[in-house]
Amino acid sequence: MSRIHDALKRAEQERATSMGTHVEPAFDQPEVRNEVQRENMPSLQSSGATVMPTMASGLNYESLLARCPQTEWSPDPRTMLFFQEDDSRVGAEEFRTLRSRLYQIREKMPLKRLMVTSALPKEGKSFVAANLAQVLVRQHGRRALVIDADLRNPGMHRHLGAAQSPGLAEYLLGECDEFAALQRGPMENLFFMPAGRVAGSAPELLSNGRLKLFLQRVEPLFDWIILDTSPVIPVSDATLVASSCDGILIVVRSNVTPSDLARRAREEFPDKLLLGVVLNGAPSGKLAQSKYYYGEAVNSQA
Ligand SMILES: Nc1ncnc2c1ncn2[C@@H]1O[C@H](COP(=O)(O)OP(=O)(O)O)[C@@H](O)[C@H]1O
Ligand SMILES: [Mg+2]
């Protein structure tokens, strides 16, 4: 896993060369940039085949559309990069690069259920997971489901401006079926399962077998399933979710994540699941735009 170590080392070096040696609060990060560290990644390719409707799991795409009507979302325009016409938002290009690298990895291994996690809260897990799902469905015919599996401190619904419940918690409690827990917003082919109400027994819920069952049932309907999780260091929930996933992206917030904690987070997972590190908030070279963009994001979330 030298690639991961290289990426963590790089994040550490950026910290070392930044102003001051203490860990900066996340909101002080001036710039936006995301990248995944992975070797030998040539140009954009999108070889994953579009999933055809199937009855194999008892669900098909038509029943999903019929039973999951479009709901009102108000995506935060300052952090959700792909809901507007403007394709040149700061950070958008980095998400396209991330997408192309994921397709390249997918040529070498089965990859559909993708978990996004990080060492600590507020490092950008939900930001990365939500924007990644959007950029994936920007490609014609691709369908994605993004799941907020952070049952303790859910945040994805705020980024998307969607309802928090019913969602994963209600499904895991057996209170609703998969259709009732899913939402379809204004972006074609993008589906969302919010976390649901905060139930207070996240590890028990995530390990009761229903998450695996859910993923098996809906998997044939989607090209990608992105799972946003709790941070790794304080709680074990992400490790439970990882056992149902094909690959993991670890978000490291530039100038924020202490490198020893990022390393500890990475050690929680088997090497074969680790796809790479997304460096969030690194300098992009577009200082004026980035600062403006970030300033707006801070105001909206504070
Ligand atoms: N690259 C970024 N640019 C602008 N704002 C960001 C960026 N990454 C994270 N944020 C903001 O930082 C806060 C924490 O991000 P979030 O994705 O919710 O963290 P996490 O899910 O890791 O707890 C949110 O207010 C989010 O909008
Ligand atoms: Mg979050």
- Enumerate helices (H) and strands (E) in the chain, giving the number of each: 11, 7
Atom of ligand 1 nearest to the CA of 298: 25
Within 10 angstroms of residue 20's Cβ, the number of other Cβ atoms is 8
Measured by CA distance, the residue closest to atom 15 of ligand 1 is 124
Atom of ligand 1 nearest to the CA of 159: 27
Ligand 1 centroid to 115 CA: how many Å?
Answer: 17
pLDDT at 227: 98
For the stretch 201-219, what's the b/e string if a residue is b when 16 or more beta carbons lie within 10 angstroms of its beta carbon?
ebeebbbeebbeebbeebb
Reference 211, options 230, 193, 199; nearest CA is 193
Ligand 1 centroid to 51 CA: how many Å?
Answer: 31
- Using only C-alpha atoms, what is the Rg of the chain? 18
Question: What mean pLDDT do residues 21-44 have?
Answer: 30
Answer yes or no: is pLDDT of 220 > 50.
Answer: yes
pLDDT at 58: 65
Between residues 50 and 100, the one the model is more confident about:
100
Between residues 3 and 154, the one the model is more confident about:
154
* Superfamily designation of domain 2-16+26-39+54-301: P-loop containing nucleotide triphosphate hydrolases (3.40.50.300)
Question: What mean pLDDT do residues 242-265 have?
Answer: 95
CB 258 within 8 A of CB 23: yes
pLDDT interval class at 88 (50, 70, 90): confident
59-73, 89-103, 208-222, 251-265: the lowest-pLDDT one: 59-73
Instruction: Give me the chain's average pLDDT, please.
Output: 80
Question: What mean pLDDT do residues 270-281 have?
Answer: 95
Within 10 angstroms of residue 37's Cβ, the number of other Cβ atoms is 21
Instruction: Annotate 138-165 with DSSP letters as a single string.
Output: TSTT--EEEEE--SSS--HHHHHT----
pLDDT interval class at 10 (50, 70, 90): low
Q: Which two tokens stand for residue 213?
A: 């069952």
Ligand 1 centroid to 181 CA: how many Å?
Answer: 24
Reference 130, options 117, 142, 147, 143; nearest CA is 147
Instruction: Annotate 191-212 with DSSP letters as a single string.
Output: EEE---S--S-HHHHHTSSHHH
User: Which residues 6+ apart lie within 8 Å of 158 measured at CB?
Assistant: 76, 301
Looking at the CA of 118, which ligand is closest?
1
Measured by CA distance, the residue closest to atom 10 of ligand 1 is 124
Pocket test for ligand 1, best of 79, 89, 125, 257 (most atoms within 8 A of CB): 79
pLDDT at 300: 25
CB 44 within 8 A of CB 294: no
Answer yes or no: is pLDDT of 59 > 70.
Answer: yes
CB 152 within 8 A of CB 125: no
Q: Between the CA of residue 45 and those of 41, 49, 59, 115, 252, what are the distances in Å?
A: 10, 12, 30, 21, 25
- Spatial distance between the Cα atoms of 136 and 225, rounded to a whole number of angstroms: 10
Question: What mean pLDDT do residues 104-126 have?
Answer: 97
Q: Where are the domains of the chain?
A: 2-16+26-39+54-301
Q: What is the pLDDT of residues 164-184, one digit of tens each?
A: 999 999 999 999 999 999 999
- Spatial distance between the Cα atoms of 60 and 9, rounded to a whole number of angstroms: 45
Which residues does ligand 1 sit against, CB inside 6 Å?
Answer: 26, 32, 79, 91, 118, 121-127, 155, 280-281, 294, 297, 301
24-38, 140-154, 203-217, 281-295: the lowest-pLDDT one: 24-38
Ligand 1 centroid to 208 CA: how many Å?
Answer: 30
pLDDT at 176: 94
